[in-house]
Amino acid sequence: MTDPAPPQRSSKRARLCSIENANRIATRVAEHVQGDTAVVKTGNPLQPFRVVLASKAAPGRTVSRVVTCNDDEPEDQ
């Protein structure tokens, strides 16, 4: 008996599951929460990446990070 073939993903799902999309979402979340975020691997083909707070990211699963900084202080001229 052979293993069933993996289901075909639509082009829309492929875009949603991409690392590019995960990085885009991580940036938006970081801006919203004003804190660092990370993109981690999940091992799930339907959701291969997940955005989490950087402090909650498992080091061995982290793919990328968004680091925020506070540039709200006016510069002295």
Contact 51, 22 (CB under 8 A): yes
29-32 contacts at long range (C-beta below 8 A, 24 or more positions apart): 29/66, 30/66, 30/67, 30/68, 31/68
Contact 36, 65 (CB under 8 A): yes
Tokens 């990328």 locate to 64
Output the pLDDT for position 10. Answer: 87
pLDDT of 1 > 70? The answer is: no
pLDDT of 4 > 80? The answer is: no
Model pLDDT for residues 20-70, shown as the tens digit of each residue: 999 999 999 999 999 999 999 999 988 999 999 999 998 899 999 999 886
